[in-house]
Amino acid sequence: MKIPLFMLFLCIYISTLFGNVILILTVQRDSHLHKPMYILLLNLSFLDIWLSTVTLPKLLSNFLQRDKTISFRHCIIQLYFFHFFASTECFLYTVMAYDRFLAICRPLHYPNLMNLKLCARFTAGIWLTGSLHSMIHTTLTFRLPFCGPNRIDYFFCDVIPVLKLACADTTINKAVIITNIGAVALFCFLLILVSYFHIIKTILKIQTSAGRRKTFSTCSSHLISVIFFYGPPVFIYISPQSVDYLVEEAIAVFYTLLTPMLNPIIYSLRNSEVKASLKRMKCHKRDR
């Protein structure tokens, strides 16, 4: 199964790169999309590219190599950047939910509460917070002594599989790391739920069904991405001892590899402005 799996994951990686690069270029080149919502979407595509790149190239090389090895230093780097991009994406989804809340529930105040300048500050803040969050996990994990087995039963260096290799008691580390990950993810998820609670309340007040559908369509893509992104890791990190590692790997593959590939499709197929921009780009190329 090595070659078929290699071809499958190679197609996933190429599709992820192609879809997200197209979305980034669309937002950059079309002045109609120079709005906070699409600047945040541009950041999401950029994060999805790097989140896949942290794990997929190494996974692809493992399919072709007999000795599937990774150095200790590269393991640290992989763990840090995986949690950096994943946690930053977690914070980004929260800001995107807040953006949709303002656009739907506070439309008159939206230009003041979410302009391009404030959007840039939000973006810088979530990237910095994601870096600090990942630094905590990496430091707590690799300050432990590693002198026992060196086989990682996982397809990349993640916190829980690496902690199993430490030759010291990791109970406190696991408790702190899982609590930290759980608290941050839960806090972000609750903020998203609060935003959507107010969004749904506002949508239900719209008298026409066509108006309700049109308003909900502006945030449905984000809602689908949130479900794909938050569901699997919550399942993994809340019950790490009770989940079979093969099931855990399958779930991790979904949210680390498939979700970044699906996001551009979700946002381009369900967003009329993105579709219109893609058509304009296509017509412009034909005219040339």
Question: How many Cβ atoms from other residues are within 10 Å of residue 48's Cβ?
Answer: 27
- pLDDT at residue 251 is higher than 80: no
Any idea which of 89-103, 180-194, 262-276 has the lowest mean pLDDT? 262-276
Residue found under tokens 């008159």 = 108
Instruction: Give the number of other Cβ atoms within 10 Å of residue 221's Cβ.
Output: 21
Question: How many angstroms separate the Cα of 189 from the Cα of each of 36, 154, 205?
Answer: 21, 26, 25
Per-residue confidence (pLDDT) for residue 247, from 0 to 100:
66
Helices (H), 30-115: 36-64, 72-105, 110-113
Question: Is it true that domain 2-287 has CATH number 3.40.50.1460?
Answer: no
Task: Work out the average pLDDT over 51-61.
Answer: 91
CB 9 within 8 A of CB 63: yes
* pTM recorded for the entire structure: 0.88
Q: What is the pLDDT of residue 127?
A: 96
The reported pLDDT for the residue numbered 33 is: 84
Cβ contact 275:24 at 8 Å: no
Yes or no: say if 197 and 68 are a contact pair by the CB < 8 Å rule: no
- Give the residue from 11, 12, 2, 8 showing the smallest Cα distance to 260: 12
Mapping DSSP to helix (H, G, I), strand (E, B) and coil, where does residue 90 land? helix
- Among 233, 240, 253, smallest CA distance to 83 is for 233
Amino acid identity for residue 105 in this structure = C
Residue 82 Cα distances to 50, 88, 162, 222, angstroms:
9, 10, 13, 22
Q: What's the average model confidence in pLDDT over 180-193? A: 84
Give residue 288's pLDDT.
59
Position 30 scores a pLDDT of 82
Contact indicator for 93, 41 with CB cutoff of 8 Å: no
Q: Which positions ≥6 away from 37 have C-beta within 8 Å?
A: 96, 99, 100, 103
Structure tokens at 194: 């609060």
Closest CA to 236 of 222, 261, 256: 256
The residues, ordered by sequence, that sit 6+ positions from 89 with a Cβ below 8 Å of its Cβ are 44, 47, 48, 51, 130, 229
Each residue of 136-176: pLDDT tens digit?
A: 889 988 988 988 788 888 888 988 889 888 888 888 887 87
Judged on CB neighbours under 10 Å (0-12, 13-18, 19+), 243 is: middle
